[in-house]
Amino acid sequence: MNYVIEKSEVTLTKIAELLERGGFECRIDEEEKQVVFDGSIKNLRVQLHESYNSIRLKGHYWLNSKLVDSEIYELTANLSEQYYLPKFTHYRWSDGDLVLITGHIVHYTFGLHAANFLFTIRRFLDAQQGVYVNSIRGTHYDYVEPEDADRDDEGNTRLSKTSDESSSGSNQTIQ
């Protein structure tokens, strides 16, 4: 898989094909203009920004909504210092739900080198797993399911953010 996709040929379709050849399950979300990972990798998105000749890798983790801002700032600062590849930020919705967002930008100024891109994806996923296992899971940062959570037919918790997001079909199911 040692080839380069010419800069002018980089599209979501070509990125998805490359990822599938690299062993990842994914699909294209035309509405959001991104490649969404499926299968065991649930929280990774790949967004193409053609005008900047760049690809944005973006992941997320649900956190304990009871955390105060100073705890979140401390977590993101520590993670940014500890991990090289992803950068970290957080977002709190108006209903209090809290998410840690991971991101990385891949530039393809001279074309997209397939092997290097797949290597970067794997390193990003390794870092994300390390963040969860070493810094979130089993700590006070870990997601705590609300007692009054809305559940689907399979017993999974369904979290909806706002009525606008609910109507656009962006509800997330947490398993």
Q: Which pair of tokens denotes residue 37?
A: 């990972």
pLDDT, tens digit, 9 for 90 and up, residues 99-118: 999 999 999 999 999 999 99
pLDDT, tens digit, 9 for 90 and up, residues 29-69: 999 999 999 876 667 999 999 999 999 999 999 999 999 99
CB 63 within 8 A of CB 100: yes
* 110 shares its domain with 173: no
* 82 shares its domain with 131: yes
Which domain CATH number covers 57?
3.30.1460.10
* 27 shares its domain with 106: yes
Q: Check: pTM over 0.85? Answer yes or no.
A: no
Domain interval for residue 89: 4-144
* 82 shares its domain with 164: no
